[in-house]
Structure 1
Amino acid sequence: MATLKETLTSKFRHKAFWAITLTLFMVAYNVSVMPAIMSPLARDLNASVGSIQGILVVFSLTTASFAPTTENLCGFYGRTRVFGIGLILYGIGIALTSLSPTIGILAISFSLLTGLAATPLISTPWAIAESMYGGEAEEQTTLVLVLASVLGSLSGGILGGFIAYHLGWRWAFAPSVSVLIFIFRLQRSLPNQIIPSPQPIDWFGGLLSFLGLSSIFVGIGLAGEFGWWAPKREFAIGNMIIPPFAISIVPTLVAVGVILLGFFGFWQRRQAQRVGASLFRVGLLRRRGFVFGMFAAMVHTLIVTGVQFNLFQFVPLALSLNPFRTALAIMPYNLTMPIVLVAVVKYLSLGSRIAPKYIVCSGIALLAVGIGVLYSSLHPQISPLELMPGLIIMGIGSGLFLSYISVLTFSSASVVDKPQCPGIYNPIQNLGSSLGRGILGTALIFFTSQSIVDRVLQKLGKTLSTVQRLEVISKLQETLQTFSQAEIGTVLANKVPPSVYPSLQSINLNAATLGIRNSLLIALMLTIVCFILTTGLPKYPSCRSS
């Protein structure tokens, strides 16, 4: 049995290995750099935290929605050609993002153009690793690819925050551009393992999947502004109010998305029976281990993305830190996770004595413990040192969870279905990322707004009816999500009575602390859901032939 050092040394000689590893590093860097540069970006473009959060949600929407069609295009034109086009579009998107003069152009360039281009860049590395390596080497390569994504996220937060603080947020994208140029030089070494098929492209199936996922993602993205169920305000196109009854647009869009995805599943089954063009084999979703592993990974992504996003909003307020120092305060989680991953990769033989399933389950249990420790440590005068224990435990848990979750999930698929795994697995992870920012981010804003309103009323010695109180909370939520930092200060100064204004900073800090603690309680409940899902995984990776 080859050691990890021998295996990786042989891989390092292959340019293709570096190409796929650096690609995942680059994409992860650019996604994680956005929260790190949020404050200077919002100030420079006169934007709000909510608008930047929306940009990240739409990025995930675009990437996930186009994934099935991308796999279809790879089968028709060849994966390497689609990957090369994706690199070109990605480079243009990142360049336009760094040069954006307004938040609207930033949204189009990053969310739409870069999100679209990122789809083949995310799926291709996993597909090529599957074709180039087998057995233990494949498992080790999978862990290295996960590690590349983690290191990309770590670099985006720390390096991106450092550059944004010293040179400006536009320069924070420069490292990824340098990596992109290097990948261009290596892409010729990628094997075009998918032979172009004469089978026509399933454009109708692609349209159904795109509209279905888009409807769900847009609905989630609008939850903070329009409400999850009870409408905070009406959604109208022209003079037509949608929906024409007293619920929010959010459940309507989600329901439409689910219906469209149901039609998509029916269409795929019909195409498979007729041997027609189809995006992927629906039979893959009948594999219990694959489905459980896919959704367990999605919930984990939801938790860690949402918690980190909220920390990037809370820490600068509580500790008065710039983006770089904020990233350093949150770094214990991002640093511990890759260390644990490297340890698991190095001592991969542990898998023969400890079932990988148990490692994954213990990882999510430790993540829950870390969230609990972080919850207990939060208070208005918190220091970076007090954040460290909870973040370290969370990092250990995530490292253990990520070390085997994709290996166990993909091994549940048959040999025929396995190439389709990334086309389903990766979009679901993007969905988890969007849900994390949507659910936990919205929870932070809601509980913070609620606390601010209640504390101001208490300070004034006044009470409001339930309806009036909810209206005020809703308006404050909208203000926090749609106004820039300077505008929020002006609005509060004009709305709050002079007797309360001297205490406003303390009120805001205590409210933000309560908001993030409540969001952590939601994250803690989600770890229970994730743990239950991991019980459906196989104990060891299995090789199926049918």
Structure 2
Amino acid sequence: MLAALALAQFICSFAGSNMNVMINDISEDLDTTVQGVQVAITVFLLVMAALMIPGGKLTDRYGRKRCFVVGLVVYGVGALLSAASPGLGVLILGNSVLEGVGTALLIPPVYILTTLLYPDLTSRARAFGIIMALGGIGAAAGPLIGGLITTGISWRAAFVFQALVIAVIVWLSRRIEDPLPPDPGRSFDTSGAVLSAAGLILVVMGILAADNNIWLMIGLIVLGVLVLGWFLRSSRAKERAGREPLLSLGLFRNRTSNLGLITQNVQWLLLMGTSFTVAAYLQVVRGYDAIQTGVIFTAATLGLLVTSLSAAALARRRSQRALITSGFVVAVAGVGVLVGLAASFSTAWAFVPGLLLVGLGLGLMLTPSVNVVQSSFPEERQGEISGLSRSVSNLGSSFGTAIAGTILVAGLTKGAYAVAMITLAVIGLGGLAAGALLPRTPAPSRAGDTPATAPGTRT
């Protein structure tokens, strides 16, 4: 069961980063540009972020396992369509839309089932450690695996690989048992789902428009913020009227969870922003091919693997706050090393120390951030918080690719690379500040907000 859940996180993270090393191949084959490929990657991450909250709510109504399997099937269809795409439009439909929708359906059940089936902090940290390790490895090893497949066969074969992994997960999922029965009578806030998705899409598309039209960027972002404000106001009105909104605003009354969500968002922003920026710079500016670029990213993969798989042992020795803050310090230092060494040396080895530090730092904090958030709420709220948690993380991935990618493609030079990376580092310092504000021990629980962990456990 855990193998199926971990592999699901792996393939979804892999999909978000493996296209980074296919930029030249895809743009040449489909007669598009680097910016066109960036849009496809960003829209995939954005669709996940926009639909993750509705996906989490649907698990309560239709059951966690059913949503998991349906999401896998939709994802598999999207992967096969992407492999056969004749142009950028079909690639966006298959990869960005269908794979994004499938991911939004299958990822919330991964975290809900893990939280429900592993009740104590240590066993849950071990399970989340394995899942987050596979997720981090999928994101970090995506360039390497994608590079090997692209160079050895073609970029289209990378999508066939995804479909094959999905088939394996479907077969493994036969052993998964849903610990909670579905509630078919549970209401679903359709208007809230539309408003939240529209608002997030407008904000991210505004960021993508920055290098083309500054006024269009401002207009889209302002409109997106207004739509999101409308969504929050509508949710508050529904709660006051006794109806169930898409997202209960009561989730944001938990300070520890709020800080954990911020750290999750910034972690994935750092990971995906660094991955896209370094991969695009190596291919477009330095002329590396897909496999050369992928091999360089092995350093980040190894770093993530070492610290993620140590999650259970680290959770027994250190507080969650200590792990998160230490992870941000190491990751931000890694970004600084990436900037400094790239400016001083022309060899590919100059990127290895920085990527290793980024991988070590991110692997150190991915699991405790998830544990902090999921453990802040009882079983009956796991559907909501899981959807919100994954949406925030994937929104971070979208922001990372959109912000750093927009800076980079606006002027593919050494200067643009440094500006993009420094921007990521500054945002990383914001994540460090949020992590430092986390409590050493959980705050006393209130009615309706009882943590799902045993009393006295450290978060």
Length-normalised TM-score, structure 2: 0.91
Specify which of 246, 255, 274 is matched with residue 279 of structure 1.
246
Q: Does the CA contact (< 8 Å) of 1:412 and 1:542 recur in 2?
A: no
Q: What is the CA distance between 1:285 and its match in structure 2? A: 0.9
Query: Could you tell which deviates more after superposition, 45-54 or 325-334?
Result: 325-334
Q: Which residue of 2 aligns with 1:158?
A: 144
After TM superposition, list the pairs within 5 Å mapping 1:438-517 onto structure 2: 438-448=402-412, 512-517=413-418
Cα–Cα, structure 1 residues 132 and 368, in superposed 2: closer, same or farther, change >3 Å? same
Q: Does 1:427 align with 2:412?
A: no
1:54 and 2:21 aligned? no
Q: Which residue of 195, 205, 223 corresponds with 1:218?
A: 205
5+ long unaligned stretches in structure 1: 1-15, 228-247, 449-511
> In the TM superposition, what is the alpha-carbon distance from 1:23 to its structure 2 partner?
0.9
Does 2:189 correspond to 1:202? yes
Matches within 5 A, 1:346-385: 346-351=313-318, 355-379=319-343, 382-385=346-349
Gaps of 5+ in 2: 451-459
Partners of 2:149 and 2:175 in 1: how far apart?
A: 32
On the 8 A contact 1:293/1:536 being kept in 2, the answer is no
| Corresponding position: 1:533 with 2:434 | yes
Q: Offset at 1:292? A: 1.4
Residue 75 of structure 1, aligned match among 60, 66, 80: 60
Give the 3-state SS of the residue equivalent to 1:222 in structure 2.
helix
Distance 2:249 2:369 in 1: 21
Q: Which runs of 4+ in 1 moved over 6 A?
A: none
| Overall identity of the aligned pairs, in % | 24
1:221 partner amino acid: L
Alignment pair present for 1:87 and 2:99: no
The aligned amino acid for 2:216 is I
2:201–2:224 CA contact under 8 A, matched in 1:
yes
How far apart, in 2, do the equivalents of 1:271 and 1:197 lie?
20
* Residues paired across the two proteins, number: 445
* Inter-CA distance 88–198: structure 2 relative to 1 (3 Å threshold): same
Selected match of 1:142 from 128, 144, 165: 128
Shift of residue 312, structure 1, vs aligned partner:
0.7
Distance change in 2, residues 1:282/1:107 (3 Å): same
CA distance in 2, matches of 1:85, 1:341: 29
For the 8 Å contact 1:411–1:542, the answer to whether it is kept is: no
Contact 1:143 1:341 in 2 (8 A): yes
Q: Distance in 1 between matches of 2:310 and 2:282?
A: 30
CA deviation vs aligned residue, 1:505-539 (integer Å, no higher than 9, x gap): xxxxxxx2222112222122212211111122222
> Where do 1:67-466 residues align within 5 Å?
67-135=52-120, 136-192=122-178, 193-227=180-214, 248-351=215-318, 355-379=319-343, 382-414=346-378, 416-448=380-412
TM-aligned CA deviation for residue 380 of structure 1? 7.6
10, 19, 30: which is aligned to 1:45?
30
The equivalent residue for 1:9 is none
The structure-2 alpha-carbon separation of the partners of 1:64 and 1:317, relative to structure 1 and needing over 3 Å to count, comes to closer
Asked which structure has the greater CA Rg, the reply is 1
- 1:318 deviates by 4.9
| Kept in 2: contact 1:336–1:396 (CA 8 A) | yes
What CA RMSD, in Å, does the superposition of the two structures yield over aligned residues? 2.0
By how many angstroms is 1:418 displaced?
3.8
Instruction: Give the Cα–Cα distance (whole angstroms) in 2 for the partners of residues 110 and 525 of structure 1.
Output: 31
CA 1:82–1:393 in structure 2 vs 1: closer, same or farther (change >3 Å)?
closer
Cα contact 1:64–1:427 (8 A) shared by 2: yes
Higher relative contact order (CA 8 A, sep 6+): 2
Q: Which moved more, 1:187-196 or 1:287-296?
A: 187-196
**2:77 partner amino acid:** I
